[in-house]
Every structure is written in structure tokens, then in C-alpha cells.
């Protein structure tokens, strides 16, 4: 049994913590953990990446324009027409899809309005209609009269605070079943 105790004691050795600041270490300086990348380096790489992607997009557009120009010079209008027809079909299907989504949203927005409001606001474009519905739904709050007694209670109180602050303990005890019933309704 003594051997197991010695083994446990040997494994409990601790090493002092390194007091190195992670932010000052970079991958270039020999930081062993590849997950620690300085934020400035990350920003630089991201910026360069975006610049390169925009350059590639410009080059692709230029290549396409030169190819179209070359085909026009060679008189191959049929191939250009076929390519443009394909692009038109793709754009038309996307347009139909998004018009259908917009129509569904308009119907849902108009469904929440009264018939009079539908007649008035039905001609608005979808963005303005959405904004109107948001504004009208947030302003339809009804003010209540807090001074009137709560309906349906036999306690004749105007707020719950009166039960605990204005009633004495004997009055609460005699009306306890009504108090419980009052809070069950909530």
C-alpha cells in the first residue's frame, strides 16, 4: 500500500504558471498554439482577402466582356443570344420566386388589418405597409383605469396592494377564501 501512496505524491507535482501575455505572442514569433492569432493580423489578412476577391471579380467581368466582344466581331450572335436567354430564364425564375414571397408577406400583413384599413393602406408598397403595421400594432395599447375596483371580487379592492397594506390581519383572516379566489383568477 505504501507504493501507491508514493505514486500519488509523485504525480501531484505542479509546475509554475507561465506569465506570458498571449496578445504579445504571434505566430511569427514562435507561438506554438495556431489558434491564437493576433487581431491586427486577422484584420490584415481579412482585408487582403476581400481586396483579392474583388480583383478576381473584376477580372472575371473583364474576361466575359472581352469574350462577348470577340464573339460579336466573329459574328456569332446565335451563341450570344442563347447565353443571354439562359441568363434571362435564371433571372426570371428568381424574380418570380421573390415576387411570390413578397405577395405572401403582403397578404399576411393585410390580414391583420380591418377592412377599412385594407382599403386605405392596401395600395402601399410592402416596405411602407410593414412599417405601418408595426407602428399600429405597437400603439394599440389600451389604457385602463386603475382607480376603479377590480371586477368580480368580493373584497372591494382596487389593487392587490390593498390586501397586504390596508387590510389588518383579522380582516384578511375573515376574507381569506375570497383572497385565495382572487389570486386564483390571475
The model's pLDDT over 26-47, given as tens digits with 9 standing for 90+, comes to: 445 555 566 788 889 889 999 9
> Model confidence over 58-97: pLDDT tens digits?
999 999 899 888 888 887 788 888 888 999 999 999 999 9
Residue 78 contacts by C-beta under 8 Å, 6 or more apart in sequence? none
Closest by alpha carbon to 101, among 130, 139, 62, 131? 130
Give the DSSP letter of residue 31.
-
Are 119 and 111 in contact by the 8 Å Cβ rule? The answer is: no
Distance of CA 27 to the CA centre of its chain: 35
Say yes or no to pLDDT of 155 above 80. Answer: no
Give residue limits of the domains in the chain: 37-75, 92-137
**Does the reported pTM lie above 0.75?**
no
Are 104 and 128 in contact by the 8 Å Cβ rule? The answer is: no
| Strongest mean pLDDT among 45-49, 124-128, 129-133, 137-141 | 45-49
**Sign of CA pseudo-dihedral 115, 120, 124, 127:** negative
Looking at residue 104, what is its pLDDT?
A: 92
**Least confident window among 43-47, 75-79, 123-127, 167-171:** 75-79
Looking at residue 33, what is its pLDDT?
A: 64
Looking at residue 186, what is its pLDDT?
A: 65
Looking at residue 103, what is its pLDDT?
A: 92
Residue 155 contacts by C-beta under 8 Å, 6 or more apart in sequence? 162, 163, 175, 178, 179, 182
Looking at residue 176, what is its pLDDT?
A: 85
**Sign of CA pseudo-dihedral 55, 57, 58, 60:** positive
Amino acid at each position: 500500500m505504501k507504493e501507491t501512496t508514493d505514486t500519488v505524491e509523485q504525480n501531484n507535482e505542479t509546475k509554475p504558471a507561465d506569465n506570458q501575455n498571449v496578445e504579445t505572442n504571434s505566430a511569427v514569433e514562435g507561438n506554438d498554439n495556431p489558434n491564437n492569432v493576433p487581431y491586427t493580423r486577422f484584420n490584415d489578412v481579412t482585408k487582403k482577402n476581400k481586396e483579392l476577391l474583388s480583383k478576381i471579380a473584376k477580372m472575371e467581368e473583364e474576361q466575359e466582356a472581352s469574350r462577348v466582344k470577340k464573339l460579336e466581331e466573329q459574328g456569332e450572335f446565335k451563341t450570344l443570344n442563347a447565353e443571354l436567354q439562359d441568363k434571362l430564364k435564371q433571372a426570371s425564375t428568381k424574380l418570380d420566386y421573390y415576387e411570390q414571397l413578397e405577395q405572401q408577406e403582403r397578404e399576411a400583413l393585410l390580414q391583420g388589418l380591418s377592412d377599412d384599413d385594407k382599403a386605405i393602406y392596401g395600395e402601399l408598397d410592402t416596405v411602407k405597409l410593414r412599417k405601418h403595421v408595426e407602428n399600429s400594432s405597437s400603439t394599440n395599447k389600451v389604457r385602463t383605469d386603475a382607480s376603479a375596483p377590480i371586477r368580480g371580487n368580493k373584497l372591494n379592492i382596487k389593487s392587490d396592494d390593498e390586501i397586504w397594506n390596508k387590510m389588518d390581519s383579522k380582516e384578511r383572516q375573515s376574507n381569506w377564501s375570497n383572497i385565495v379566489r382572487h389570486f386564483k383568477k390571475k
